[in-house]
Amino acid sequence: MNAKLGKEKLLSQVAVNHTLHDISNKNGEMVANYAISNDTFLTSTNFQHKKIHIGMWASPDHQTINQIDHVMVSKEKMILIHDVMLKRGYNCDSDHFFVQIKIKQKLTIVKNRQIQKYKWDRQLLNQKEKINKYQENLQSMLHEIEDEMDINQDWQKLKHAILEAATEFKLSKDNGMMNVRVQSKKRMKQEENV
């Protein structure tokens, strides 16, 4: 936008006095009004650097340097910006220089929810009457499910029906440990007999 920001008192709401220019041009006033109306801050004027690191545009004769590119951030997020400065030396076929912004943001840690895991009694899967009962229960539950337009809701209903029909095959924690202990005792007796 080629906005030159000066050191006027009007700009004190949206900018700091670390700028190359003393007086704003028309575009600078428009940018300042936009920043005021949208509750943002021009962080490119917030950090004091040498003039060589502030000028973002150089004229073709390299005599005139202007600070006409700016970084605008909402006032809530302003504390995340730790530095804004110019990076010279990159050839991008432009008379503007790159602007480097250093941002430090803390990431929040989201704890994963524990997915409930079930232990199944595999010995019951060998009993034909238990399998038939499971199949009948599952079919009756599936007939009761109404189709939804959302595939995620359909999947949740299907998953719930499968788990409900298979409640007879779930091991309680105590029962599961008992099975492990019984099986380990059987193995020990077999090893003693060998």
Answer yes or no: do 39 and 73 share one domain.
yes
Question: Which pLDDT score, from 0 to 100, does residue 176 have?
Answer: 47
Output the pTM of the full model: 0.47
Q: What residues make up the domain containing 137?
A: 122-193
Note whether 143 and 76 are same-domain residues.
no
Number of domains in the chain: 2
pLDDT tens string 10-64: 777 777 777 777 777 888 888 888 888 888 888 877 777 777 767 777 677 777 7
- Which of 17-23's residues contact partners 24+ apart within 8 Å by CB, and which partners? 17/45, 18/45, 18/46, 18/47, 18/48, 18/49, 18/54, 19/45, 19/54, 19/67, 20/51, 20/54, 20/55, 20/65, 20/66, 20/67, 21/66, 21/67
At 100-143, the pLDDT tens digits run 888 888 777 777 766 667 777 777 778 888 888 888 888 888 88
Indicate whether 99 and 126 sit together in one domain: no
Does the residue 58 lie in any domain? yes
Based on the fold, state whether residues 90 and 16 are members of the same structural domain: yes
Interstrand relation of 40-42 and 57-58 (parallel, antiparallel or unpaired): unpaired
Shared domain for 68 and 36, answered yes or no, is yes
Rounded to whole angstroms, the Cα distance separating 194 from 190 reads 6
- 14 and 99 inside one domain: yes
